[in-house]
Amino acid sequence: MADIALVLGAGGVTGSAWETGILYGLAEAGVDLSTADLIIGSSAGAVVGAQLASGLLGLPELYARQLADPQGETGGRLGTATLMRYARAVLTASTPEAYGRKLARMAREARTGITADDRRALIASRLLTPEWPERRLHITAVHAATGELHTFDRDSGVPLADAVTASCAVPAVWPVATIDGQDWIDGGVHSPANAHLAAGWERVVVIAPTASGNKVIVSPRSQATDLEARGARVAVITPDEAARKAFGRNPLDPSRRAAAARAGLAQSAMYTEKVAAVLNG
């Protein structure tokens, strides 16, 4: 494949599982995205992207890992009070950066019940290697002080586990991630997919567990429309009703992981021809 970017969006533990199911199903149908030239991962997509880019396990093995018993795994929860604070931040912000700063302040004040070191260790355990892959992998995070989106890669000088931990630092659920004295929060705070980072690539596939946007956060489909206006061929995959039901109300619940993976596998059949057309058309 040449000039192909794969964008993996945010969506919690269930989002990672669903993305893996989608990728596995597409590959089984002959549309293998594991060799994309660029992988952009945000939050849930950062974990999947790092696993995929490592090349250490194939998609059948990565999918099987999602079906494993999650007993003993630490889950999180976006409670009603936290979601209401998110909503207030949206209403009082005019840009994604302002929204990011508001959520960062909230994150710094929160008691998460887990230390930053323990959270990093948990993320590291989900990665197949501590080393950055040779392939192009970009991991997103939001700078807590400025609210600006940033990407880490193998040339950034930041360990892979630190980059993915930062990308997965859901505000008020997990601790703020600190790298070289600077604080970072979840890359999905800027937008659910950050597909705009694929600008300039000829063919783009966006797999986004979170389909919606709001007045400051741009949806994956809107970002895809902008890419298409620049001449790219783009396919966007977002959860269907069955997948949303499989996710349940809490995307951070590991007990929903297997159901979400199976839903992704089932849904992938609907997109085989569309993705193949983007890649080969």
Tokens 């929204």 correspond to: 99
The verdict on whether 162 is a catalytic residue reads no
Q: Which of 42, 54, 183, 186 is catalytic?
A: 186
Task: Please say whether the beta carbons of 36 and 129 come within 8 A.
Answer: no
Tokens 């004295």 correspond to: 181
Phi first, then psi, for residue 216 (nearest 5°) are -120, -20
Q: Which of 16, 43, 167, 268 is catalytic?
A: 43
What's the chain's Rg over C-alpha atoms? Answer: 17
Residue 126 forms beta bridges with which residues? none
**CA neighbor of 261 nearest in space, from 24, 31, 34:** 24
The verdict on whether 212 is a catalytic residue reads no
Q: Which residues are tagged catalytic?
A: 43, 186
